[in-house]
Structure 1
Amino acid sequence: MSGEFSVRRAHALVGDLFTPRPAVYWADLAASFTVSAAAFWAARPAGYATPAGALLFAVSTLAAYRCAAFIHELAHLRGRQALRRFRRGWNLLVGIPFMMPAFMFDAHVKHHSVRSYGTRDDPEYRPLDRLSRGRALAFLGSSFVLPLLAPVRFGLLTPVALVNARLRRHLYTHFTTLKIDLDYVGGVPADRRQARAWLVQELACALWAAVAAALLLTGAIPVERAVQAYAVYSALLLVNAVRTLVSHRWNGDEEPMDLVDQMMDSINHPRRPLLTELWAPLGLRLHALHHLFPGMPYHALPEAHRRLSAALPPGSAYHRTASDGLPASVAALWNGTGRRPDAPPRAGEPLTTP
C-alpha cells in the first residue's frame, strides 16, 4: 500500500504550509469564545425550551467545542516558540475552566508515531475486533459522565494526591490522559520541568473547582446555570466522540503503521466544508491529511487538501481517503464494527480501505 504513494512528492506540494500563524489562532479562539459565551448567556432569557433557546444552546455548544478543540493543535505544536503564549492563554481561558488542561493531551503524539499508531501504546485507537458496537456506544455514553468526573479528579483527588504519592501516580497513569482506549495506561512526568508544568495546571483546576463550588453553594451561580453548563459540556463531548469514531477505519492489527498506512486508515470529510467544520473543527474534517502531515497547522490544511487533490491523479491513495459524508461514515462504522479488518468489503460500503 505504501509503495503507491510518495510522501516526498506530497510534501513538495505543500512544503510552504507548515508555519503556524499565531494571529490566526488568537483571533479564532477569541471569536469562538465570545460567540459561545454570548449564546450561553442569552439562552436563559430566551427560554431553554423555546426554539430560540435551543438554537442558542446549539451555538454555544459548537462554539465551545471549537474552543476546546485547540487542545489538539497544542499537542502537536507545543514545541513551537510562536505558540507558547497561546498555550498559556488557552489554558487560562478554556483548559482550566473546562478542567481539561493542555497537558492531558500530551500523549496524543503517540497516536501519530510510526512506532505506536494503532498499537497497544496508542491511547486513541482500538482495532475493529476490539471496538465492538457496545464499546462504541459506551464511548458515546461517557460524554455524559466525564463532566461529572472532572471536578472529582481535580477538586477532590488532586489536593489529596499532593500528600499521597501513590494516589498521585495512579491519577497520572489512569485519570490524566484523554483517550479512547480505556485499557491504555499513561505515564508520569518525564522530568522535573514537566512535573512542575503538570502540577501548576492541576492546582489551577483544583482552585477553579473550589471557587465554582463556593459560588454554586452560596447561590452566586444559579443551579440552572450549572445544569446548563453540564449540558453544554456533555453535548460538545458527544459531538467530539462521534467525530472521533468516524475519523478512522480502525482496520489496524495492533502492528505499527507508517505515515501512508496511517493516512489510509484515516478519513477525510471534504464535502460541505462549512457544515462539516461545525462537527469537525480546526481541520479535523481532513483527518487523513492530518495524519499524513501532523505538524501542519490547522489553518493550512484546506489549502494543502486543494493542492493535493488537484495535483495527484484521480484514484490515488489520497483521493481514496474521502468519505461521502457523516451519515456514510457512521453507517460504515456501524456495519463494520466487530468485523475482522481483513474481511471482504460489503457491497456499496463507502469507506472500505483499498
Structure 2
Amino acid sequence: MPATQTLDAAATAAQPSRRVALSATPDDKDMLRAAAELTRDINKARPEIYWPDMLLSALVGYGAMAGAILIDNAWLAVACAVVSVIALYRALLFIHEISHLHRNALPGFRTAWNALVGVPLLTPSFMYEGVHTLHHARTRYGTVEDPEYLPLALMKPWSLPVFLLVALLAPPALIIRFGILTPLGAIIPPIRKFSWERFSALAINPAFRRRPAEGEMKRRFFWQEVGASAWAMVLIASIFVLGWRPLLIAMAIMSAVAIFNQLRTLVAHLWENEGEVMTVTGQYLDSVNVPPPSPFAALWAPVGLRYHALHHLLPSLPYHSLGEAHKRICARLGTESTYERASYGSMTVLVMRIARSTMVRR
C-alpha cells in the first residue's frame, strides 16, 4: 500500500486523539531547519515560468469561453466550457502567488495579471493582498482572527454542502459588489464602509471584518476597484446589447471555477483547530499535501497548491519550487518523519475524512 494511503488510514483511525494533539504540538525543529536549509537555492520567483504559465492559462481560458458562447454544437460547447473552467481556474489562482510576492519580484506581473485576469473575472488582487497573509500569521492561524479558517471538521454535517454550494453565488455576488455597491459607495460612505469590511476579501470566516487599506496599497487598490467596477457595469449593460445568453454562459463557467476552488479549499486543511494559537508544526499538520503520484491533484490544486502544508512551512517559496522542495525534504527526513504526516493520497480521502468528522457526536 502506498505510504500516503497508509497514513490516510492511520490518521482517520486516530482522528479524535490527533485533533486534541494538534493544538499543542511542539515545533519539530529538525523539520523546520531542513525546510529552510534545503530550499535556499530555489527560493527566487522565475519570470520565465510565471509569465508564460499565467498568459497561456488566460489565453486558453478566454478562447475556450468564447467557443462555449459562440459554438452551436452542444457537445463542443460543453467541451469548450470544461477547458475554460480548468484554464481560468489556473489563471485565477495566481492571485495566491501575488499575495506572497515581494514587491520587487517579477516587475509588472501583478499589474498584468489584474488587467488580464483579476479585473475581467471581478477578482482583483486586492481581494487577497493584505488578507491572505493574516492566515499565515503564527498567532492568527486557526483563530477567530483568521479570515481563511473555519473549524469545518467540528461543525454540523450540513455545513459542508452549504460551504460548497454557496460558491455558486460568487459570479452574481461579484457583479453586485462591483457593479452596484461600488458606485453607490462612491456617493454614500456607509455603503462604501460596509462593502469594504464585508465584501472585499476572499475570506470564509463570516466574522472577519477588513480594515481600511493604507499608504501605497490604498492607492493601488483604488484603481483595481475602479477597473472592476467599470467592467461589472459593462457586463450588466451587455445584457441589453447581446442578450442574456453570453453573460449566463460566462457566469456558469465562473460558478464552476468557484466550486472547484471551494472544493480545493475544503481539503487544504483538516480544519480541526478550535481557536487556539498553534505552533508552526501544528499549523503544518493541520494543513495538507497531496503529492505525486496522485494523478488529478495538479488539476484541482494547480499553481503549487497541492503542496499546501509545505507552503505553510515556506510561504514565500515560489510555486514552481514546491515539488523539488518536497522531494528534498522527504529524502532528508525519511518516511517516518513529522513532515510525511501531512501527506494524503487524494481529494476523496480528505473529503471523506472531514465528512466523517462532522458526524461525530460532541
TM-score w.r.t. length of structure 1: 0.90
Please give the alpha-carbon distance, in whole angstroms, between the structure 2 residues aligned to 1:83 and 1:101: 18
Q: Distance in 2 between matches of 1:193 and 1:45?
A: 42
The corresponding residue for 2:309 is: 288
**Do the aligned residues in 1 keep the contact of 2:38 with 2:329 (CA within 8 Å)?**
yes
- Equivalent position SS for 2:144: coil
Quote the residue 1:349 is aligned against: none
Deviation at 1:73, TM superposition (A): 0.6
State the number of aligned residues.
336
Aligned 8 A contact 2:68 2:81 in 1: yes
Code of the aligned partner of 1:213: I
Structure 2 equivalent of residue 309 of structure 1:
330
Offset from partner CA, 1:186-243 (integer Å, 9 cap, x none) = 2111x24322222211111111112222233122xx5322111011100010011011
Counterpart residue type for residue 12 of structure 1: E
Unpaired stretches in structure 2, ≥5 consecutive residues = 1-24
Q: Cα distance, 1:315 vs. partner?
A: 1.4
How many percent of aligned residue pairs carry the same amino acid? 35
1:225 is aligned, of 246, 251, 255, to 246
Letter in 2 for 1:195: K
For residues 202 and 149 of structure 1, the distance between their equivalents in structure 2, rounded to whole angstroms, comes to: 15
Cα offset, 1:15, TM superposition: 1.6
Q: Distance in 2 between matches of 1:327 and 1:301?
A: 22
> 1:151 deviation in Å?
1.2
Structure 1: segments with no counterpart, 5+ residues: 344-354
Distance 1:151 1:48, change over 3 A: farther
Q: Which residue of 1 aligns with 2:134?
A: 110
Could you say what secondary structure the match of 2:64 adopts?
A: helix
Contact 2:140 2:146 in 1 (8 A): yes
The answer to whether the 8 A contact 2:156-2:359 is kept is: yes
Tell me if structure 1 keeps the 8 A contact 2:260–2:300: yes
The whole-number CA distance in structure 1 between the counterparts of 2:28 and 2:320 is: 28
TM-score, normalised to structure 2, is: 0.88
**Is the alpha carbon distance of 1:47 and 1:312 closer, same or farther for their aligned partners in structure 2, counting shifts above 3 Å?**
farther
Partner of 1:20: 45
Matched, 1:331 2:342: no
Which of 78, 97, 103 matches 1:54? 78
Tell me, yes or no, if structure 1 residue 170 matches structure 2 residue 194: yes
2:6 aligned partner = none
Match of 2:9 in 1: none
Question: Mapping of 1:177-196 within 5 angstroms?
Answer: 177-189=201-213, 191-196=214-219
Return the alpha-carbon distance in structure 1 between the equivalents of residues 267 and 50 of structure 2.
25
Alignment match, 2:221: 198
The 1:302/1:34 distance shift into structure 2, 3 A limit, reads: same
Change beyond 3 A, Cα 1:233–1:81: same
- CA distance in 2 between partners of 1:339 and 1:8 (Å): 37
User: Relative to structure 1, is the Cα distance of residues 129 and 9 closer, same or farther in structure 2, using a 3 angstrom cutoff?
Assistant: closer
* Structure 1 CA distance for aligned equivalents of residues 358 and 73 of structure 2: 36
Match of 2:57 in 1: 32
**Partner Cα separation in structure 2 for residue 5 and residue 65 of structure 1:** 36
Is contact 2:264–2:301 with CA below 8 Å preserved after alignment?
yes
User: 1 or 2 for the larger relative contact order (CA 8 Å, sep ≥6)?
Assistant: 2
Determine if contact 1:97/1:208 at 8 Å carries over to the other structure: yes
* Conserved? CA contact 2:152–2:160, under 8 Å: no
Counterpart-to-counterpart distance in 2, 1:130 and 1:199: 38
CA RMSD of aligned residues (A): 1.8
In the TM superposition, residue 42 of structure 1 has moved relative to its aligned partner by 2.4
1:314 aligned counterpart, secondary structure: coil
Summarize deviations over 1:98-147 as a string: whole Å, max 9, x none.
11110111201111110100001101111246533322222211111111
Q: 2:67 aligns with which of 25, 42, 53?
A: 42
Give 1:300 deviation, angstroms: 0.5
Distance in 1, matches of 2:311 and 2:355, equals: 24
Does the Cα contact within 8 Å between 1:128 and 1:338 map onto a contact in 2? Answer: no
Change beyond 3 A, Cα 1:167–1:318: same
Residue matched to 2:17: none
Distance 1:123 1:339 in 2: 26
Alpha-carbon contact 2:304-2:322 (below 8 Å) kept: yes
